[in-house]
């Protein structure tokens, strides 16, 4: 490749709003072409070699108004004089705009020191002639050596090639330079060959990074005295006391006296997962929510918990807060480290502003869960902990905190008789917000399954509709976002006027018109007279219609019959071969139902796989019949090449609705249906 014609690039790109850069071809290997939208990316310079093409540049503009009539590039920072001295590795990065009107610019320190690299012996080192002497010398000295010689040699060769290529471009190249260039390419090829040996060796190493397992072990780690003391000092000193009557200022002031007993009591729980009687009791105080509260609904119950349980709950909450952000979806923004409770509101405002600017209609459905903490079932919470692979010891601690809890209601400062809990989370418990977040995550999973199945449609915002939003959770409030009404749920329109016939068009396969009872069929060929429908049909079949065998629509020479349409025509055979290739099963030709039944019974598949394979062929025959009938009568010519795609989609929805225990994904079903089951 010597040069590129700009019109060739235009044919590839589609318009003239582009800029491009190329690199030369190397032997039989083609060159490199890089094309970009010059209105979005501004090129500063390019670096081209035989193996690489690097384009340096950035965005042309970083801000624009909503009509794109005014644009500006804001890519500078105002810093104090000593900033660059303190942070010599500062870099700026322009981020994607998504749904905003400007591209955020990130200023960050990019210098990262991961420590010394672990030693590893590569087999390619043995190909060097002097490898024995290098190893002998290294083994006998202190092991301090220069940097990787192979990487250094590669860099020297590449720098030399760049210098020779610059001379070639200027026309100042000498014959010795050409021979040197060929020698350098051979040396570079030898280094690449050694690298391939190293890559093959690395491919055999299985790096077992088990972060989830490590997190579970950290949660169930031994509670130390320092951790207990730190959690005591983190608690407020003057909070309202629980049933034991103590506040944390007492524990802090007299810790040398009571610290040993408090530590032993806390450790006893983590050893037995149980509380002695009365140690997990609490007072329920009714705090008025409105002025002049009179009714029970005007009060908010708050649990006043004792010091012993509050220390235990604080330890569990602190441990859980360190890793809950790794397992909880981004739709939740409350009580999670690194997220703000206002993130959901800010995102929602951006979505509404985006839709208003585009004049798009959306559906917003806000749900405020009444008595959210009180409605949590403990068995459901334990199932969720199991789904997230929490350890048995951790789940036992959570069950101990819940099942051993008791409470009394404070009425005018005096407690009532105590009672046990059987469900719900206590307000005022430091562990309750995190457990409720895990419960809400099950709602997120259920809602996400509806979206994956196509039952509900999210909205797409941002440039090229790259960001999709369907729901947002913050604390016990939820906001569901979707397309505007009406939408289809289980085949029925929701939000439409169901008194109109048009709202049932997707439910009814066909419409039927009934004529008046006074209507009659009149036959005037042989005179006046009234006849029934049956007699008129018999007269037409006998005297008017000519019964003759019709030819197949796809093979004009063959007579159209049931066996030929479903088993013998070229279209059915092609579809059967496509199904066999899709299922990775050899399916020979069959001309009648008995041949197909013999073939089907001989397949080496399980009973479930055979049932689904049979359903796939039934779907194929149904689509062939539908295509055959719609060809002469449909207003639009049906597309023959879409039949196989319809069969795949039809069977996918059939499997997901009839075989719910498998929960097959669309991608897995498309690639390999046998392994997807």
pLDDT band at 49 (very low <50, low <70, confident <90, very high): confident
Question: Cβ distance 280 to 309 under 8 Å?
Answer: yes
Measured in degrees and rounded to the nearest 5, phi and psi for residue 248 equal -75, -20
Q: Rounded CA gap, 304 and 307, in Å?
A: 10
SS3 661: coil
Alpha-carbon distances of 602 from 54, 353, 583, 612, 653, rounded to whole Å: 58, 61, 15, 15, 27
Closest CA to 243 of 281, 277, 269, 274: 281
Segment 319-348 shows an average pLDDT of: 81
Least confident of 203-207, 332-336, 434-438: 203-207
Q: Rounded CA gap, 397 and 271, in Å?
A: 9
For the chain, give the percent of residues with pLDDT over 70. Answer: 72
Question: Cβ distance 328 to 441 under 8 Å?
Answer: yes
pLDDT tens digits, one per residue of 151-198: 677 778 888 888 887 777 777 777 787 788 888 888 888 877 776 666
pLDDT tens digits, one per residue of 499-529: 777 767 666 655 555 554 444 444 444 444 5
Question: Cβ distance 381 to 438 under 8 Å?
Answer: yes
pLDDT band at 150 (very low <50, low <70, confident <90, very high): low
pLDDT at 99: 61
pLDDT band at 206 (very low <50, low <70, confident <90, very high): very low
Q: What's the burial of 34, exposed, middle or buried (CB within 10 Å: 0-12/13-18/19+)?
A: middle
Q: Rounded CA gap, 269 and 306, in Å?
A: 14
Q: Rounded CA gap, 472 and 456, in Å?
A: 15
Indicate if the alpha-carbon torsion angle 288, 293, 294, 298 is positive or negative: negative
Name the CA radius of gyration of the chain, rounded.
37
Q: Rounded CA gap, 568 and 591, in Å?
A: 5
Token digits of residue 278 = 């009365």
| Average pLDDT taken over every residue of the chain | 75
Question: Cβ distance 227 to 267 under 8 Å?
Answer: no
| For residue 146, pLDDT beyond 60 | no
pLDDT at 486: 62
| For residue 367, pLDDT beyond 80 | yes
pLDDT at 488: 64
**652: CB partners within 8 A, 6+ apart:** 664, 666, 669, 670
| For residue 470, pLDDT beyond 60 | yes
Q: Rounded CA gap, 201 and 334, in Å?
A: 46
Segment 477-492 shows an average pLDDT of: 70
| For residue 318, pLDDT beyond 80 | yes
Neighbour count for residue 616 (Cβ, 10 Å): 19
| For residue 200, pLDDT beyond 60 | no
Q: Please list the residues that pair with 494 across neighbouring strands.
A: 487
| For residue 267, pLDDT beyond 60 | yes
Question: Cβ distance 177 to 167 under 8 Å?
Answer: yes
Query: Residue 305 carries which DSSP code?
Result: E
Segment 421-444 shows an average pLDDT of: 86
Beta strands 281-288 and 406-411: pairing type? parallel
Tally of residues, the chain:
677
**510: CB partners within 8 A, 6+ apart:** none
Q: Rounded CA gap, 363 and 484, in Å?
A: 5
SS (HEC) of 214-275: HHHHHHCCCCCHHHHHHHHHHCCCCCCCCCCCCCHHHHHHCHHHHHHHHHHHHHHHHHHCCC
pLDDT at 60: 66
């Amino acid at each position: 490749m010597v040069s590129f014609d700009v019109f060739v690039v235009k044919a590839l790109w589609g318009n003239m709003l582009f800029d491009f850069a190329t690199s030369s071809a190397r032997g039989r290997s083609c060159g490199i072409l890089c094309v970009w939208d010059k209105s979005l990316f501004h090129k500063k310079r390019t670096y081209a070699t035989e193996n690489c093409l690097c384009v340096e540049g950035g965005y042309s503009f970083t801000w624009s108004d909503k009509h794109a009539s005014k644009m500006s590039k804001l890519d500078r920072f105002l810093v104090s004089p000593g900033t660059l001295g303190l942070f010599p590795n500062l870099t700026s990065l322009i981020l994607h705009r998504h749904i905003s009107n400007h591209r955020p610019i990130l200023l960050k320190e990019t210098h990262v020191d991961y420590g010394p690299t672990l030693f590893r012996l590569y087999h390619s080192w043995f190909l060097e002639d002097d490898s024995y002497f290098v190893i002998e010398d290294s083994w006998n000295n202190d092991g301090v050596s220069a940097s990787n010689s192979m990487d250094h040699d590669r860099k020297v060769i590449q720098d030399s090639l760049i210098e020779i290529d610059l001379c070639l471009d200027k026309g100042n190249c000498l014959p010795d330079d050409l021979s040197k260039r060929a020698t350098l390419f051979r040396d570079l090829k030898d280094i690449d060959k050694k690298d391939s040996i190293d890559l093959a060796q690395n491919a055999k190493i299985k790096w077992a990074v088990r972060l989830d397992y490590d997190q579970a072990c950290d949660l169930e780690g031994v509670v130390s005295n320092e951790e207990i003391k730190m959690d005591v000092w983190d608690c407020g000193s003057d909070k309202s006391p629980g049933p034991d009557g103590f506040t944390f200022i007492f524990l802090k002031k007299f810790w040398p006296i009571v610290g040993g007993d408090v530590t032993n009591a806390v450790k006893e729980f983590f050893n037995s997962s149980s509380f002695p009687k009365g140690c997990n009791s609490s007072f329920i105080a009714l705090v008025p929510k409105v002025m002049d509260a009179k009714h029970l609904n005007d009060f908010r119950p708050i649990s006043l918990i004792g010091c012993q349980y509050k220390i235990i709950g604080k330890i569990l909450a602190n441990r859980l807060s360190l890793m809950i952000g790794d397992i909880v979806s981004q739709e939740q923004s409350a009580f999670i480290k690194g997220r703000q409770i206002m993130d959901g509101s800010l995102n929602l405002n951006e979505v509404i502003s985006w839709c208003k600017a585009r004049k798009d209609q959306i559906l917003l459905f806000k749900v405020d869960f009444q008595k959210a903490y009180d409605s949590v079932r403990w068995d459901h919470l334990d199932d969720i902990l199991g789904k997230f692979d929490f350890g048995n010891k951790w789940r036992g601690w959570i069950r101990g905190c819940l099942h051993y809890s008791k409470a009394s209601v404070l009425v005018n400062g005096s407690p009532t008789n105590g009672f046990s809990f059987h469900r719900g989370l206590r307000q005022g418990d430091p562990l309750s917000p995190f457990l409720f977040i895990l419960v809400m995550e099950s709602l997120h999973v259920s809602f996400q399954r509806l979206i994956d199945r196509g039952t509900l449609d999210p909205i797409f915002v941002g440039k090229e509709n790259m960001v999709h939003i369907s729901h947002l959770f913050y604390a016990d409030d939820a906001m569901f976002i979707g397309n505007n009404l009406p939408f289809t749920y289980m085949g029925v329109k929701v939000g439409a006027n169901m008194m109109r016939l048009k709202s049932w068009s997707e439910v009814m396969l066909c419409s039927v018109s009934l004529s008046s009872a006074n209507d009659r069929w009149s036959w005037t060929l042989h005179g006046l007279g009234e006849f029934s429908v049956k007699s008129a049909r018999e007269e037409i079949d006998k005297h008017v219609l000519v019964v003759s065998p019709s030819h197949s629509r796809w093979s004009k020479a063959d007579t159209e019959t049931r066996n030929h349409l479903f088993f013998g025509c070229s279209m059915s055979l092609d579809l059967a071969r496509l199904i066999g290739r899709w299922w990775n099963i050899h399916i020979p030709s069959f001309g009648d139902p008995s041949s197909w039944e013999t073939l089907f019974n001989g397949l080496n598949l399980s009973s479930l796989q055979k049932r689904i394979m049979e359903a796939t062929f039934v779907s194929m025959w149904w689509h062939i019949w539908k295509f055959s009938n719609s060809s002469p009568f449909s207003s639009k010519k049906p597309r023959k090449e879409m039949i196989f795609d319809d069969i795949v989609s039809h069977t996918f929805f059939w499997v997901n609705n009839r075989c719910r225990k498998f929960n097959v994904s669309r991608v897995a079903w498309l690639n390999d249906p046998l392994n997807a089951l």
